[in-house]
Amino acid sequence: MRLALILGAALLPLSLASVMIGAASVDWANIASDPQAFLIVTASRVPRTVAVILTGAALAVAGVVMQQIVRNRFVEPGTVGTAEGAALGLLAVTVLAPAAPIWAKMLVASLGALAATAVFLALIRRLPPREVLLVPLVGLVLAGVLQAGVTFIGWQTDLLQYVGIWLMTGEFSGVIAGRYELLWIAAAAAALAWFAADQFAILGLGREAATGLGLNHEGVMRLGLLVVSVVTAMVMVSVGMVPFVGLVVPNIVARVMGDNLRASLPVVATGGAALVLACDLLARLVRYPYEVPVGTVLGILGSVLFLWLLHRAPSRG
Amino acid sequence: MAVFALVLLAASAAYLLWGIGGNWRFVLGLRAGKLAGMLVVGTSIAVATILFQTVSQNRILTPAIMGFDALYVLLQTALVAGLGVTGFAMLPVGAKFAAEVAVMALAAMALFGLLLGRGAQDVARMILTGVILGILFRSLAGFLARVMDPNAFAIVQAESFASFSRIDGALLPWAAGAAALAVTAAFRLSSRLDVMALGRPVAVSLGLRYEAMTFAALALVAVLVSVSTALVGPVTFFGLIVSGLAHSLICSARHTLLLPAAALIGGAILVIGQLVFERVLGLQSALSVVVEFTGGLFFLWLLLKGRIR
Amino acid sequence: MIRIDNVSHRIGPAPILQDIDLTLPPSSVTALIGPNGAGKSTLLNLIGRLIPLQVGRISVDGHDVTATPSRQLAKVMAILGQTNHAGSRLRVRELVAFGRWPHHLGRARPEDHAAVEAALAQFDLAPLAERFLDEISGGQRQRAFLAMCIAQDTDWLLLDEPLNNLDMAHARALMARLHGLRAAGRGIVVVVHEVNYAAAWADHVVALKGGRVVAEGTPHQVLTPEVLGQLYDMEIRVTELDGRPLILHHV
């Protein structure tokens, strides 16, 4: 509970800083009277801050859900091929139907993410059950294979810049009002996960225990798959790939609070939002007024944290 | 072995002479350069992978999977960042390359010596660590590139995947020289590598200086990875394919046979592959992507078959 | 009452169970015994609808396990499998509380909390209630999972080799508790590996070998040298202790 309060309290100054910092200089004293300053704040700063919070929260929740359906701590949508599946979907739509409306792109991206995750789930069913670390490894390799496919299609269709800059490196610099609203759908999917929190937690107990308690195992798995795919697809379409949030935040929260999802999901969401907000601030400040993509910053921070999680001694009370 | 040599010879000839058309002196020169580059890269990756697998006692690990080439790209970027873009670019090609290789060898020995020394038991954890290190190095390289020059994504993009068809002609002689030295050294160490492959306890009891050999092998691997990454960029799964083929086609664990065979197979795959993609299919830069794709699938297959031990 | 009619089960070409016809009496402890590979766990999993039924019919207190919705069955029987590794990082109390889920589906009421406390007390888990599952011993974890099944408050309990990780004191205590539950009216089906637990505590014993029922009845009827010798392919002496058979399989 304390953790939730600390994280929540951290969000407020971070959000404020996020709204206040940016490449253009805003005269805060005259904000009410200066239409230019007002525009910058309402069309760019606030939407960006909201987008960052939504992305962080949704991705963190998607990470928890994936960890429950896979029953493995070291997975998240960015490291098992889900994001690459969404990218493939987006590429397909961009190549085959470039004039398609945004909802069609959304749909195809979600389907791509769903297909990739389904492939991942099918693959890990064939693994020996006690080999915990093989699961994330298979995920990473699958992601690499799909990434090669994405690169190939990008190269052949001359969309490589689109792939490299917009898709695979997540950044929030392109967020303005009217370009990020899809993220609310991601947030809705994450909220859906909270409503089914108990069911996901029971899923984590294993197929047998879950069936013994009367849970519709297949149904909850499909719901989890849907949540993960929709969140990933929305984030990919809006801002690109933001790695590691879904991995490190749930793991750190679980260390403190355990896997009782009804209690821990809000904390995970808040933690995700705070982490991405902090990284986005860093990305904006480190070479002010230029921006480093937040995907790069998280790539560094996330992999360091992942290595720490991998090599620390397990907590024995 | 003779078969491989013949295949490679035939493929090389085909590459040089197929569809040569009018201006054959110029085209021959161009193709010869690319051919040489491919042979150097194929040999380097093959030998580096075999060496690394002997040191790590595992046929599913390769230097690329463990992040060696990402480390090279990072060091390259860091050197540029450290010495300044113009300052570094002014250095002659040979000196630049030598500096990069030296730093790479030191870093590789430190990092991977540590990793292999401690974590030799839990292979899955080691592989996962290597993959994550690769991601970390790539992210750091991207970050440095951005900090140095905010419009640097073009540079970063160029580095992030390999292309076998654009090989830097100026660098080639230096790279080839370094590769030749390293490969010769590796070949000279063949009998000791055979002993190393028996495992640490047996090797030590047979009198082998195990730690020194590990560092020497890692240094050679570092040089060879530097060569291949400098010439074509990072290639993750190529070494795995070559090593797998070499082991299954040569029914022997002796390095005197394995190393040359792997080198020949590596060269042959690249030349034949590039031949097919360039001449037959007309897809210029597809080879690396196809290699990555196939190699990745092969790796997945190995994992799922439980060949992780 | 559990009725098992003409049940067979194959995995690929291998027959695991063949033509099983059984009636398991309510409010009693039924023990399934037999050598490895006899099909005991498979039969238990079929009753508990963990594996889909291929041939035949199983009904638990009139509920057909194939036709009745799983959530309803969860209020009729609770099943505990053989392997319970703590994949999830839950506190003991949280795990036991999930046993109430079929009843409250997420909205816990006071009677649910009371049932959880009672289950924790029954298995001496109160001092461990706030500890995480991955921080306690294997035997303590086993008791936590058992407490979860008890909290589920069902008429039937299906337990697959529940004594495996327990030390002698806790194993005996568990069998005594099961006996108490049966006195309170619950039906219990246990797969046991050590036949003396069946001999001492069961009301009804079913002996399986090679996927078929070899013998069925009271402990005195089933646990005889002839039946046991046929079951385990060895000469076994059987004596008596306190009115129950005592099987001297270890000498």
Spell out the domains of chain C, with CATH numbers in brackets: 1-76+155-218 (3.40.50.300), 87-153 (no CATH)
Residue A133 contacts B, CB cutoff 8 Å: yes
The pLDDT-based confidence of A317 (bands split at 50, 70, 90) is very low
Q: Which amino acid, one-letter code, is at A204?
A: G
DSSP state of C132: B
- % residues pLDDT > 70 (chain A): 92
Residue C80 contacts A, CB cutoff 8 Å: yes
Cβ separation of C101 and A213 shorter than 8 Å? Answer: yes
Q: Which of C202, C225, C196, C232 is nearest to C34 (CA)?
A: C232
Spatial distance between the Cα atoms of B222 and B104, rounded to a whole number of angstroms: 6
Which pLDDT does position A85 carry in this prediction?
92
Q: Which of C153, C158, C155, C146 is nearest to C47 (CA)?
A: C158
What's the first-to-final CA gap in chain C, in angstroms? Answer: 37
Spatial distance between the Cα atoms of B127 and B139, rounded to a whole number of angstroms: 18
Cβ separation of A164 and B160 shorter than 8 Å? Answer: yes
What's the first-to-final CA gap in chain A, in angstroms? Answer: 20
**Subunit partners of chain A (3 or more CB pairs within 8 A):** B, C
Task: Report yes or no for ipTM above 0.85.
Answer: no
Residue B93 contacts A, CB cutoff 8 Å: no
Spatial distance between the Cα atoms of A81 and A85, rounded to a whole number of angstroms: 6
| Contact predicate B300/A123, CB 8 Å | yes
Cβ separation of B147 and A127 shorter than 8 Å? Answer: no
Q: For the packed helices A245-257 and A261-285, what is the interaxial angle rounded to 10 degrees?
A: 130
Which pLDDT does position C59 carry in this prediction?
94
pLDDT tens digits for chain B (309 residues)?
677 777 777 777 766 666 555 556 677 777 777 788 888 888 999 999 999 888 888 777 888 888 888 888 888 788 777 776 666 666 777 777 887 888 888 888 887 777 776 555 567 777 788 888 888 998 888 888 777 766 555 555 555 566 666 677 777 888 888 888 899 998 888 888 888 888 777 787 887 888 888 888 888 988 898 888 888 877 878 888 888 888 877 777 788 888 888 888 888 888 888 777 777 776 666 677 778 788 888 888 877 776 554
Bond from prior residue into A289 cis (ω within 30 degrees of 0): yes
C101-112 mean pLDDT: 88
Residue C96 contacts A, CB cutoff 8 Å: no
Find the DSSP H helices in A21-81. Answer: 35-39, 46-70
Which pLDDT does position A316 carry in this prediction?
39
DSSP state of C3: E
| Contacts for B229 with CB less than 8 Å, ≥ 6 apart | B69, B72, B73, B235
Is B in contact with C (3 or more beta carbon pairs below 8 Å)?
no
A87-107 mean pLDDT: 86
Q: For the packed helices A182-195 and A46-70, what is the interaxial angle rounded to 10 degrees?
A: 40
A291-309 mean pLDDT: 88
* Contact list, A212 vs chain C (CB under 8 Å): 48, 50, 74, 78-81, 149
**Which residue in the block uniquely carries the two structure tokens 């909850």?**
A220
Which pLDDT does position A313 carry in this prediction?
59
Which pLDDT does position B243 carry in this prediction?
87
- For the domain spanning A2-311, the CATH number is 1.10.3470.10
Domains of chain B, residue spans: 2-10+34-304
Q: Rg of chain C over CA atoms, in angstroms?
A: 18
Spatial distance between the Cα atoms of A225 and A119, rounded to a whole number of angstroms: 11
Cβ separation of A214 and C74 shorter than 8 Å? Answer: yes
Cβ separation of A127 and B150 shorter than 8 Å? Answer: no
Interface probe with C: pick from A74, A260, A268, A312, most Cβ of C within 10 Å: A260
The model's pTM is 0.81
Q: Residue C237 pairs with which residues in a beta bridge?
A: C248
Which pLDDT does position A115 carry in this prediction?
94
The pLDDT-based confidence of C20 (bands split at 50, 70, 90) is very high
Q: Which amino acid, one-letter code, is at B276?
A: V
C127-144 mean pLDDT: 88
- Closest-CA residue of B relative to A126 is B304
Residue A93 has pLDDT above 80, yes or no: yes
Cβ separation of A214 and C78 shorter than 8 Å? Answer: no
- Closest-CA residue of A relative to C152 is A213
Q: Is C107 left (phi over 0), alpha (psi -120 to 50) or beta?
A: beta
Q: In the numeric block, which tokens belong to residue B307?
A: 């060949």
**Which residue in the block uniquely carries the two structure tokens 């569809």?**
B19
pLDDT (tens digit per residue) in A8-22: 777 777 777 777 776
A165-192 mean pLDDT: 81
C-alpha distances in Å from residue C98, one per residue of A205, B269, C55, C109: 10, 57, 32, 13
Residue B306 contacts A, CB cutoff 8 Å: yes
- What would the DSSP string read from start to end of B209-268? -HHHHHHHHHHHHHHHHHHHHHHH---SSHHHHHHHHHHHHS----HHHHHHHHHHHHHH
Task: Say how many C-beta atoms besides its own lie within 10 A of residue B32's C-beta.
Answer: 13
- What would the DSSP string read from start to end of B46-97? HHHHHHHHHHHT-SS--TTTTTHHHHHHHHHHHHHHHH-HHHHHHS-HHHHH
Residue A278 has pLDDT above 50, yes or no: yes
**Which residue in the block uniquely carries the two structure tokens 């292309």?**
B163
Cβ separation of A214 and C75 shorter than 8 Å? Answer: yes
Task: Say how many C-beta atoms besides its own lie within 10 A of residue C135's C-beta.
Answer: 17
Q: Which of C111, C191, C117, C172 is nearest to C150 (CA)?
A: C117
Residue C204 has pLDDT above 50, yes or no: yes
Q: Is the dihedral of CA B265, B268, B270, B276 positive or negative?
A: negative
Q: Backbone phi, then psi, for B121, in 5-degree steps?
A: -75, -55
C-alpha distances in Å from residue C90, one per residue of A202, A208, C86, C235: 10, 17, 8, 47
C60-83 mean pLDDT: 89
Of A145, A152, A292, the CB nearest to B143: A292
Cβ separation of A205 and C134 shorter than 8 Å? Answer: no
Which pLDDT does position C219 carry in this prediction?
92
Cβ separation of B303 and A155 shorter than 8 Å? Answer: no
| Contact predicate A48/A86, CB 8 Å | no
- What would the DSSP string read from start to end of A118-168? HHHHHHHTTS-TT-TTHHHHHHHHHHHHHHHHHHHHHHHTT-HHIIIIIIS
Nearest 5 degrees, angle CA A300-CA A301-CA A302?
95
C-alpha distances in Å from residue A234, one per residue of A65, A90, A153, A299: 16, 11, 21, 20
Spatial distance between the Cα atoms of A140 and A83, rounded to a whole number of angstroms: 11
Q: Which of B238, B246, B258 is nearest to B189 (CA)?
A: B258
Pairs of CB atoms within 8 A across A/C: 81
* Contact list, B241 vs chain A (CB under 8 Å): none
- For the domain spanning B2-10+34-304, the CATH number is 1.10.3470.10
Q: Which of the residue ranges A134-143, B60-69, B225-234, C201-210 has the most confident prediction, judged by mean pLDDT?
A: C201-210
Spatial distance between the Cα atoms of C134 and C86, rounded to a whole number of angstroms: 6
Task: Say how many C-beta atoms besides its own lie within 10 A of residue B270's C-beta.
Answer: 31
* Contact list, A309 vs chain B (CB under 8 Å): none
DSSP-derived 3-state class of residue C159:
strand
**Which A positions 134-173 lie with beta carbon below 8 A of chain B?**
134, 136-138, 140-142, 144-145, 148-149, 151-152, 155-156, 160-161, 164-165, 169
Nearest 5 degrees, angle CA B240-CA B245-CA B248?
125
Residue A5 contacts B, CB cutoff 8 Å: no
**Subunit partners of chain B (3 or more CB pairs within 8 A):** A
pLDDT (tens digit per residue) in C140-198: 888 898 899 989 989 999 999 988 878 888 888 888 888 888 888 899 999 998 899 99
The pLDDT-based confidence of A73 (bands split at 50, 70, 90) is confident
Spatial distance between the Cα atoms of C139 and C165, rounded to a whole number of angstroms: 5
pLDDT (tens digit per residue) in C219-246: 999 999 999 999 888 888 999 999 899 9
Question: Per-residue b/e over B281-308, b at no fewer than 16 CB within 10 Å?
Answer: eebebbbbbebbbbbbebbbebbbeeeb
Which pLDDT does position C21 carry in this prediction?
93
Which pLDDT does position A269 carry in this prediction?
92
Which pLDDT does position A281 carry in this prediction?
87
Q: Residue C24 pairs with which residues in a beta bridge?
A: C2
pLDDT (tens digit per residue) in A218-264: 899 999 999 999 999 999 888 888 889 999 999 989 888 888 899 89
The pLDDT-based confidence of A30 (bands split at 50, 70, 90) is low
* Contact list, C79 vs chain A (CB under 8 Å): 208, 212
Question: Per-residue b/e over A278-297, b at no fewer than 16 CB within 10 Å?
Answer: bbbbebbeeeeeebbbbbbb
- % residues pLDDT > 90 (chain A): 28
DSSP state of C233: T
- Closest-CA residue of B relative to A302 is B136
| Contacts for A245 with CB less than 8 Å, ≥ 6 apart | A55, A56, A59, A60, A63, A76, A78, A272, A275, A276, A298, A302
